[in-house]
Structure 1
Amino acid sequence: MPRVTEEHRTARRDQILSAAMRCVARDGFHKMTMANVIAESGLSAGAVYGYFKGKNDLIQAIARRAVGGFAADLDTLADGDDQVTLPGALEVVLARARGLTADSEGGLPRIAIHAWSEAARDDEVKEIVRTNIDSIIKSWARVLARARADGNLGPDGDLDQMARSMYSLMIGFALQGLILDDVDEESYLAGFTALLA
């Protein structure tokens, strides 16, 4: 029997995860079942369960895929050689959001809203979402500390409080983009820059 390559395993896992994300975007976490994901993926039950033990494993993987890159991008910015400004940092985050939205065929904002809604009623989902939010807020605090060190942020103000506000700007962009037809990165960033002025 031929050995399965790591590339094949990664592609199969991504196939299952993408199917789960489509199910969540369409029906929410509470209606997503393993049977739905199996049908959506076009794979056998054995194949799907070979990668994910159950629904909670899928929810964790979806959460990591949806927000993991934000923290990494912010950390890269904080550790880089270029001057860090708040508009520049927000621009990086909005570009990441655009890319993820395109990759998920527009489903990412809906998935995020479903995750927050489910977190209000399910403690396990709440812990998953909270862990991811905490990670992004910590990364924002690092970016803000770097902006302050670069002279692009005043010396006053608690970095954690400001990081939570920057996270809220991310959420606001996702929500407005889902509901309103006239929100884009450029206008959102222009509004933020004007506020700072």
Structure 2
Amino acid sequence: MISVACRLIAEAGLEAVTVRDVAEGAKCSTAIVSHYFHNKRELLFLTYNSSIDRATERCMAAAANGLKAYLAGILPLGEEQVIEWKIWLAFWARAVADPEIAEVQRKCIARTRGNILDILCELDADGALVPGLDLEAEARRILTLLIGMAVQVLFDPADWPAERQHGLIDAELEPLYRKQREPAAAPRQSVGAR
């Protein structure tokens, strides 16, 4: 039922979702939907939380492959992520006037920023980053960039193919990393020197 609600929200927004449509999409009766969800708000709220949980699991699994892989898990690069972003934007609009949804959103943003910061701290501890970076500020900047880019992708997907999204992430991350030093050349010996 949650997957049906996800699809309906992505296609038509929160207001268009009805218990009847969810039941029809799930091939069950409205009584069954009502058995699991007390009301439409509960159904929608669980759908929102479910989309956040799925994205978090995917991104954390990707984090084993580095910061860029974690960030790519957030971006709307595939159909599943596009649906998630449409759900999130629908709820963000509602969060402006709904303190409960706003609180979930604040926690989600803080957790995501914290995950980015954790990865940056690991990279810094490994000596991979330029010394002296304000890692908290970098985590905020990276997350803000991702959110802004994702919104643009939803409104103009033709202008934001996957290559452009990856390219922008690369361009933003590249200055954070230490430049690999060229190996020192062996000292030259003068001809005849032994």
Q: How far 1:174 moved relative to its partner?
A: 1.8
In 1: Cα distance, 2:75 partner to 2:61 partner: 16
The equivalent residue for 1:68 is 53
Q: Which shifted more, 89-98 or 173-182?
A: 89-98
For structure 1, the 5+ residue unaligned runs are: 1-15
Answer whether contact 1:21 1:107 (CA < 8 A) is retained.
Answer: yes
Instruction: Answer with 1 or 2: which has the greater Rg.
Output: 2
1:150-187 C-alpha deviation (Å, 9 max, x unpaired): 22223434433322222223212321211221212322
Correspondence for 1:161 among 137, 150, 168: 137
Correspondence for 1:183 among 141, 148, 160: 160
Q: How far 1:47 moved relative to its partner?
A: 1.6
Superposed CA RMSD in Å reads 2.8
Q: Which has the higher contact order (CA 8 A, sep 6+)?
A: 1
Q: How does 1:9-48 map to 2 (within 5 A)?
A: 16-48=1-33
Runs of 4+ aligned structure 1 residues displaced above 6 Å come to none
Give the counterpart letter for 2:90 in structure 1.
H
In 2: Cα distance, 1:173 partner to 1:73 partner: 19
The equivalent residue for 1:51 is 36
Report how many aligned residue pairs link the two structures: 173
Q: How does 1:72-87 map to 2 (within 5 A)?
A: 72-76=57-61, 80=64, 84=66
Give the counterpart letter for 2:9 in structure 1.
V
Answer whether contact 1:73 1:93 (CA < 8 A) is retained.
Answer: no
In 1: Cα distance, 2:44 partner to 2:110 partner: 17
For the residue of structure 1 that corresponds to 2:14, the secondary structure is coil
In 1: Cα distance, 2:58 partner to 2:4 partner: 26
Aligned CA distance change for structure 1 residues 110 and 72 (closer, same or farther; 3 Å): closer
The equivalent residue for 1:3 is none
In 2: Cα distance, 1:117 partner to 1:191 partner: 26
Aligned CA distance change for structure 1 residues 93 and 68 (closer, same or farther; 3 Å): farther
In 2: Cα distance, 1:56 partner to 1:164 partner: 31
Aligned CA distance change for structure 1 residues 69 and 170 (closer, same or farther; 3 Å): farther
TM-score, normalisation: structure 2: 0.72
The equivalent residue for 1:138 is 114
1:104-135 C-alpha deviation (Å, 9 max, x unpaired): 7x533322211111111222221222222222
Answer whether contact 1:68 1:132 (CA < 8 A) is retained.
Answer: no
Q: How far 1:28 moved relative to its partner?
A: 2.0
Answer whether contact 1:110 1:178 (CA < 8 A) is retained.
Answer: yes
Q: How far 1:74 moved relative to its partner?
A: 4.9
Aligned CA distance change for structure 1 residues 128 and 191 (closer, same or farther; 3 Å): closer
Give the counterpart letter for 2:71 in structure 1.
V
Question: Percent same amino acid at aligned positions?
Answer: 24
